[in-house]
Amino acid sequence: MNGFERGPRIPFQPASRLPDAAFEILAPEGRELRLFSACVEQLATGLQWAEGPVWFGDGRYLLLSDIPNDRILRWDDCNGAVSEFRQPSGNANGLARDAQGRLLACEHLGRRITRTEHDGRITVLADRFDGRPLNSPNDITCAPDGSVWFTDPDFGIAGPWEGAFAPVEQPHGVYRIDAQTGELQRVLDDLAGPNGLAFTPDGRRLLVVESRAQPHRLIWSYAVDGARLGDKRLLIDAEGPGAFDGIALDTAGRVWCGFGSNGQPGALAEQLDGVRVYAADGRPLAHIHLPERCANLCFGGAKGNRLFMASSHSLYALYVNACGAVR
């Protein structure tokens, strides 16, 4: 396990008894997701605010953002080493891979979406809409047709911690970049704080977290028809003090959510920190308790069944009995 000097180190003790009590069963179906001999691991600590993990199976490594420290880190599966992949990173947040395996990044500081080419050059895919700057692209994913979709709240321009202060010039939105033409389209502008997003395994529906919805945080489901979204349905309601951030789906359509309190400190927050798992129909199945709030997560590993969890100051992992829909 690796640490860094630029952030707090979080003491962590792996479970000594099996099954790991950190995996709480909330419904009978949730028991199927737990591996009896798998325990939560802390892979790295010492980050300021961990976000946006993405798995590169061809290189057996994971990239994740450390937003306030303006860097993207690399964790290697081969030896457990952690190194700096890129600094400065433009206060990068959400990361993903496109259809050709290239790195896509949401950059707060430049208020833009970038793509890292195979030779290391950086291409700007989007930084303005209707002649005005984007807010601060937050999370990103790719559709089966190769188009790039991302959320654009104003979190990264609220001050210098995760970017730089700037006026809000766009409504909070969800955008699509066409794979063939590069055209940027705003497909949603009616959500408060759009955050994590992911496609269902068949690509027919898009799930979007509304992280500033009141009184509860929500996850919406939309039918996808090319560049158009319709049939808006409320899929999941946090129903109380819980709050969603990034999300990932497995091959069965279950929704794995970065989870924590909606700002309330103390013992309640400790009970909520971690990952909440829901069935494809929105029923809660399980909760993975972590010592820190989980911001974002992804599946990876050789078999796609290792859940990587970017959580406040640390990176955690857990093998589960499910495989990610995106590998």
Per the prediction, the chain carries an average pLDDT of 95
- Name the nearest CA neighbour of 48 among 65, 63, 32, 34: 65
Tell me the per-residue pLDDT of 108-138, one tens digit each, with 9 for 90 and over: 999 999 999 999 999 999 999 999 999 999 9
For residue 2, the model assigns a pLDDT of: 60
Beta-carbon neighbour count of residue 178 at 10 Å? 15
pLDDT of residue 4 exceeding 90, the answer is: no
Over residues 189-207, the mean pLDDT reads: 98
Tell me the per-residue pLDDT of 14-41, one tens digit each, with 9 for 90 and over: 999 999 999 999 999 999 999 999 999 9
Q: How many CA atoms lie within 13 A of 196 on its CB side?
A: 25
* pLDDT band, very low/low/confident/very high, at 303 (cuts 50, 70, 90): very high
Instruction: Give domain 2-319's CATH number out of 3.20.20.10, 3.40.50.620, 2.120.10.30, 3.40.50.10470.
Output: 2.120.10.30
Higher-pLDDT residue of 74 and 2 is 74
β-bridge mates for residue 76, sequence order: 61
For residue 263, the model assigns a pLDDT of: 72
Tell me the per-residue pLDDT of 230-286, one tens digit each, with 9 for 90 and over: 999 999 999 888 999 999 999 999 999 999 987 766 667 778 999 999 999 999 999
Q: How many CA atoms lie within 13 A of 316 on its CB side?
A: 29
Please tell me what DSSP assigns to residue 14.
-
